[in-house]
């Protein structure tokens, strides 16, 4: 008897048929590993336990229904079917749905992300922006059909009706909620006139609030140019969004109260101010009047001319001293100049000739010594009243 010989393709086909017929609807629990969201939108990861591992694929569209972001090390339950990929002879789980294996897994993911963002400084007080006291426009990121939005509208109308509410409606739980919230935060930041933003929703389970624990939401709040008040769940609920926000409110209603001043308190302040304003103003004016009276009654204020005259007298004294010094120096200079003038005058030729002296001149040269006079040659004698030549 000759045994049948199968090709690789045939045996792989038989295995594929057997496996896929017997494992068409299964639930598997395991730990996520090598999770990779592909650029195409598909998810590829490994599900493992202490003794084995299996490859998994979750296609785009189906994975959008997963309300949380899978992380390596998280324990999950997946539902789907086992398929065989003939070209490689490998098998994998074609995942249709995924959920955490328990609340503990979500809590662990929460703590892990919280630690990561805290280390990066996203919770630091130095990055918290101040909340304006009198906002003109308040942006709201929540579901427009939710009870939380209705409560916030009522509180805003009661406390501060001057404020305009601008809602960027979004899903606040379930698949795609985190991306919706992120988009709404970015949309409001594109406006130039939003003064403060409230991000929140009403109460619910950890799974219901999970969108506010997603990293993309945390980073959108941190990057917001608009101050953000978080109001998620009830007072006992804390989300990652609460730690990143500029101000945390225990509920959405409390968030609106923190975002708006109380008009009743404002009116009470105005009323009290109006009542006591005249009295306070008169008191202030009286204090200043006393101060002015004290100044105007002082000697310096009453007799300002005395001060001016004293300064004028000092100036006159200085001018008098300056004039005396100048005149003394000028008189001395004049005397010295006269002395020099007389001295110069005494050396004048005409003055000398008037005294009976004569000047000897020979060959156009003045003769001052007898030995310089050339005998036998004519010379001239110049007197005060004339000149004669001697031959």
Residues 386 and 180: their CA atoms lie apart, in Å, by: 133
- Phi, psi angles (nearest 5°) of residue 138: -115, 120
Residues 163 and 259: their CA atoms lie apart, in Å, by: 10
The gap between the terminal CA atoms of the chain, to the nearest Å, is 187
pLDDT tens column, 360-383 = 777 777 777 777 777 777 877 777
Residues 29 and 43: their CA atoms lie apart, in Å, by: 17
Residues 102 and 207: their CA atoms lie apart, in Å, by: 10
Instruction: Map 272-291 to HEC letters.
Output: HHHHHHHHHHHHHHHHHHHH
**Can you give the pLDDT at residue 376?**
76
CA atoms within 13 A on the CB side of 254: 12
Residues 100 and 31: their CA atoms lie apart, in Å, by: 10
Give the closest residue to 225 by CA, choosing from 248, 246, 240: 246
Apex CA 193: angle with CA 189 and CA 195, to 5°? 80
Tokens of residue 366, six digits:
């003045």
**Can you give the pLDDT at residue 383?**
79
- H or E stretch at 271: helix 263-296
* H helices present in 23-53, as ranges: none
Per-residue pLDDT of the chain (391 residues; tens, 9 = 90+): 557 788 888 888 888 888 888 888 899 999 888 988 888 889 999 999 888 999 999 998 888 888 888 888 888 999 999 988 888 888 899 999 998 887 788 888 888 889 999 999 999 999 999 999 999 999 999 999 999 999 999 999 999 999 999 999 999 998 889 999 999 999 999 999 999 999 999 988 888 899 999 999 999 999 999 999 999 988 888 899 999 999 999 999 999 999 998 877 776 767 666 666 677 777 788 788 888 877 777 766 666 666 677 778 888 788 888 888 888 888 888 888 888 887 777 777 777 777 777 777 777 777 777 777 777 778 777 777 778 777 7
Tokens of residue 190, six digits:
């594109």
**Residue bearing tokens 């200079």:** 333
**Residue bearing tokens 């300056």:** 322
**Can you give the pLDDT at residue 306?**
66
- H or E stretch at 205: none
């Amino acid at each position: 008897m000759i045994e049948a010989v199968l090709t690789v393709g045939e045996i792989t086909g038989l295995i594929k048929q057997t496996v896929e017929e017997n494992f068409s609807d299964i639930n598997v629990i395991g730990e996520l590993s090598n999770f990779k969201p592909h650029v195409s939108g598909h998810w590829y990861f490994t599900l493992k336990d202490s003794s084995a591992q299996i490859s998994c694929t979750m296609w785009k569209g189906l994975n959008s229904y997963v309300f949380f972001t899978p992380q390596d090390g998280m324990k999950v339950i997946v539902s789907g079917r086992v398929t065989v990929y003939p070209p490689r002879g490998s098998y994998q789980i074609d995942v249709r749905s995924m959920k955490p294996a328990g609340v503990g897994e979500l809590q662990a993911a929460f703590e892990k992300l919280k630690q990561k963002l805290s280390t990066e400084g996203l919770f630091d007080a130095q990055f918290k922006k101040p909340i304006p006291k009198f906002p003109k426009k308040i942006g709201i990121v929540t579901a427009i059909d939710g009870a939380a939005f209705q409560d916030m509208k009522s509180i805003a109308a009661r406390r501060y009706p001057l404020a305009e509410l601008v809602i960027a409606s979004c899903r606040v739980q379930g698949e795609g909620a985190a991306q919706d919230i992120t988009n709404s935060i970015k949309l409001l930041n594109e406006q130039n006139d939003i003064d403060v933003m409230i991000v929140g929703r009403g109460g619910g389970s950890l799974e219901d609030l999970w969108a506010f624990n997603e990293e993309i939401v945390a980073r959108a709040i941190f990057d917001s140019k608009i101050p953000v008040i978080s109001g998620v769940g009830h007072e006992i609920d804390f989300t990652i969004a609460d730690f990143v926000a500029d101000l945390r409110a225990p509920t959405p209603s409390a968030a609106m109260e923190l975002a708006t001043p109380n008009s009743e308190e404002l009116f009470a302040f105005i009323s009290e101010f109006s009542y006591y304003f005249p009295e306070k103003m008169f008191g202030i004016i009286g204090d200043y009047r006393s101060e002015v009276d004290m100044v105007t009654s002082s000697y310096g204020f009453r007799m300002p001319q005395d001060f001016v005259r004293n300064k004028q007298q000092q100036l006159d004294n200085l001018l008098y001293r300056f004039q005396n010094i100048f005149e003394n120096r000028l008189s001395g200079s004049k005397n010295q100049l006269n002395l020099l003038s007389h001295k110069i005058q005494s050396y004048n030729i005409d003055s000398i000739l008037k005294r009976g002296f004569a000047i000897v001149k020979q060959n156009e040269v003045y003769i001052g010594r007898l030995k310089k006079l050339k005998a036998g040659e004519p010379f001239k004698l110049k007197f005060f009243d004339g000149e004669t030549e001697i031959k």
